[in-house]
Amino acid sequence: MSSSTQNTPAPLPPFFEEDKPIDLRRYLALGLRYWYLFLLIPALAFAWAWLYLRYTPKTYEVHSTVLIKGYEQGSSSDLTEEVAFSDLGSGLLSGSINLENEMQILRSRTLMRGVVDSLKLYVQYFAEGRIAGSELYNNSPVVLDSFRLADGKKSAKFRLHILDGEQYTLHPYSGEEDEVKPQKGHFDRFFSWKGHTFLFHRRTGEKIPNFKEIIITISEPDKIAQQYAGKLGVSRREYSFVLDLSMKDYVPEKAVDILNKLYTVYDLATKADKNQVSRNTLKFIDERLRILTGDLAGVEGQIVSFKEKHDISIEAETNVSMLLNELQEYDKKIAELGLQRSLMDRMKELLESNSSREEILPAAFDFEDQGLNALIGQYNERVLQRNRLLQGSTPDNPAVQAVELELQKLHRALLDNLALAREQLEARIRQVEGKAAQLLSKTRSIPRVERDLLQIQRQQSIKENLFLYLLQKREETALTLAVTSSDFRIVDPPARFQAKIVKPKAQVVRALALMLGIGLPILFIFLVELFNTKIQSEEDVTSRTAAPLLGKVAQSRKKAFLVVRKGSRSAVAEMFRLLRTNLNFLLPEGSRQVLLVTSSASGEGKTFITANLGMSLALSGKRTLLVGMDLRKPRLSKNLGQAAPKGLTHYL
């Protein structure tokens, strides 16, 4: 409502002021108005939290700590079996540990597949509850000893109903009616059902629950291995060779068994990789021993035939033995150098073949070139490392590509060093053979028969020494296989009592329920206030604008248009009289006072206010003129019962 006069009015304060601070009392009053929401919604939120914590399967996490045995170059702190027997060739098998690679191997699906197969994790047993089921791990009353799925099937899920201690029936898990009438099966006997073949075993005991119906699922081992590999957590403790392993599962006992079995599978895989060098070395030695055995038997036969033919005397044989002893040292050295030359040729063949970077080089012999020995050890170590990485990743893995690049460099370096070392070995052989030839020249002074016997016995001595040398290396390599130790030690084994619930977290769920219980009512009240566009109290005007409030008029229950009449004492009439009084104080003094009653839309009460306010002014003794200025839908004259043929537009 606004007012104007012909006299110059005093300036009024602006209608709108700057934003005022939040009225906490107003929002407190709104909160008291909706008090029931602060009881109902928190109760529902905590009820949801209780149901969620009660029926959501709990995920447990089990931790364990292992020490990966590694050492720095030049360190002697790690006195393992390999170090103790390094003089027998096993030292070639030890090396520094790349801890990041070992972490990737522990996470590999291939390693976890061995765990799944060992524990038969691809077969799961469940007891169905009213809302959620629970897994029966190691305490199922029925165990699937063996099975063969139907052709084309990789998984199966069904219900087993126990009839008694000897019989059972199988039903589809989906609950649909089976096309075939359920057949009774006997425990510990093979049973065919829908193309599958099963062998079930009945278990009883104090810790075995007495469930009559069991849900059994058979899954693909590779998928199960991939799932558990994803649940396995492996992290490294800073500045150490200690790894923290964790496993998450709904059954803590299963998580403990998985970690323990993972250590066993990892240990066997590590030993198998380390023993590849020894196995390849044994293969090379056995090939040489087979050849030498035939040659040695032939030479011994020649000696026996020669002595029988020429009837060699003891004195002649003594002279031959004296010369033979002198030649043995040279022949032994020549045999060892010749064996190393054969080994170099074998390594060159392996390196030049198409699968060179997949073969393990024999490493039981120490060459005179120490640089070549070091390169062979590094090469074998990188081959084993690359093969282990490929168990859990693809050839495109950056770690595999980095090892492959090192192998290429070592491959070229080995070929170059082998060529150079073989030239040096040939020179060494020629030198020793020259000294042996000088000694042989002295045999010209002895009789021809004794000289021929010396030549034959010399051949026997060479082959015997080489045969004994290979036997010694064979035993050393076999001993290396026997003393192969683990590359890790369990510091803290996984334990059931250390299992922690990681999901759902009760404290987080309860805190969330508390936040929802308090926040949702507050949000509701805020939204109600935000979208409220109606003026419901004086504060709605005074709190948002600086316009003066002259009064308020209640809604009249009477259908009469004029509620202000002479002698009227109704509440609405008294409100109009109060409005008239406030106007007298607000309007400036003058003989002509003009009031304009307007609003933004029709039906808001302009005509009602104008007529009754005018009547109130008229009853106070003032001459009052009402002008209806609604040019589109004039209603003032009609409501007063004084309709005129002409309106304001005619006058203007």
Helices (H), 483-558: 506-530, 538-542
Burial of 52 (0-12, 13-18, 19+ CB in 10 A): middle
Instruction: Report the relative pairing of strands 213-218 and 123-127 from DSSP bridges.
Output: antiparallel
Burial of 239 (0-12, 13-18, 19+ CB in 10 A): exposed
Listing DSSP states for 160-214 in one string gives EEE-SSSEEEEEETT-PPPSSPP-EEETTSEEEETTEEEEEEE--STTS---SEE
Strand partners, 185: 168
Our CA angle for 286, 290, 292, nearest 5°, is 115
- The SS3 assignment for 66 reads strand
| pLDDT (average), residues 226-241 | 86
Contact residues for 524 (Cβ-Cβ < 8 A; gap 6+): 34, 37
Contact residues for 237 (Cβ-Cβ < 8 A; gap 6+): 243, 244
Model confidence band, residue 306 (pLDDT cutoffs 50, 70, 90): low
- Residue 320 is inside which H or E element, if any? helix 314-352
Output 472 or 589, whichever has higher pLDDT. 472
Model confidence band, residue 83 (pLDDT cutoffs 50, 70, 90): very low
| pLDDT (average), residues 563-582 | 82
**Among residues 339, 329, 341, 290, which one has the least CA distance to residue 469?**
339
pLDDT in tens, 87-96: 444 444 444 5
**Separation between Cα atoms, residue 435 and residue 330, nearest integer Å:** 8
**Separation between Cα atoms, residue 618 and residue 623, nearest integer Å:** 6
User: Under a CB-based contact definition with an 8 Å cutoff, are residues 400 and 393 in contact?
Assistant: yes
**Separation between Cα atoms, residue 122 and residue 216, nearest integer Å:** 10
Mean pLDDT, the chain, integer: 76
pLDDT in tens, 404-424: 888 888 888 888 888 888 888
Residue 168 CB neighbour total at 10 angstroms: 23
Question: At residue 271, what is the residue type?
Answer: K
Question: At residue 442, what is the residue type?
Answer: K
Model confidence band, residue 23 (pLDDT cutoffs 50, 70, 90): low
**Separation between Cα atoms, residue 216 and residue 126, nearest integer Å:** 6
**Separation between Cα atoms, residue 469 and residue 175, nearest integer Å:** 73
| pLDDT (average), residues 352-368 | 65
Structure tokens at 338: 């010749």
Chain centre distance of CA 498: 21
Give the pLDDT confidence score for residue 512 in this predicted structure: 93
User: Under a CB-based contact definition with an 8 Å cutoff, are residues 307 and 449 in contact?
Assistant: no
User: Under a CB-based contact definition with an 8 Å cutoff, are residues 168 and 185 in contact?
Assistant: yes
**Separation between Cα atoms, residue 201 and residue 189, nearest integer Å:** 8
**Among residues 474, 472, 473, 462, which one has the least CA distance to residue 295?**
462
Please give the sequence-ordered ranges of beta strands (E in DSSP) within 457-510, or none if there are none: 488-492, 500-503
Structure tokens at 87: 């003089």
Q: Does the pLDDT value for residue 592 go beyond 80?
A: no
Strand partners, 158: 172, 216
Give the pLDDT confidence score for residue 44 in this predicted structure: 93
* Whole-model pTM over 0.75: no
**Separation between Cα atoms, residue 436 and residue 441, nearest integer Å:** 9
